Amino acid sequence: METIASSCAAVLRGLPPEISAMLAWPLAAGPMLAAHARAQGCRAGTLAVAVPDPAWRAEIERMRPELLRALQALLPPGAVRQIALQAGGRA
């Protein structure tokens, strides 16, 4: 039986990396984190994520390895190799 994650990964891998990375962020981050940090774009393997304040920035920094693993499980190889944090996410 196919899981939701594997079904999503199959769809995401068929899209251009810039689009698939944006769509994969909420799945990889989970609802709580995705509600406070928004994917802004992806270029050359770097996913830009906007965060609202230093506390959320610190949380994402702490979770960065886990988030990268989750993204890489959903996306084609090399689609996201790093996460760049920017000010200005949801409050």
Enter the pTM of the model.
0.87
Give tens-digit pLDDT for 40-87: 999 999 999 999 999 999 999 999 999 999 999 999 999 999 999 999
- CATH at 82: 3.30.300
d(CA 89, CA 61) in angstroms, rounded, equals 15
What tokens does 9 get? 């990964």
8 A C-beta contact, residue 84 and residue 37: no
* 89 pLDDT higher than 80: no
Can you give the residue range of the structural domain that contains 25?
4-87
> What total number of domains does the chain contain?
1
Spatial contact of 40 and 49, defined as CB atoms under 8 Å apart: yes
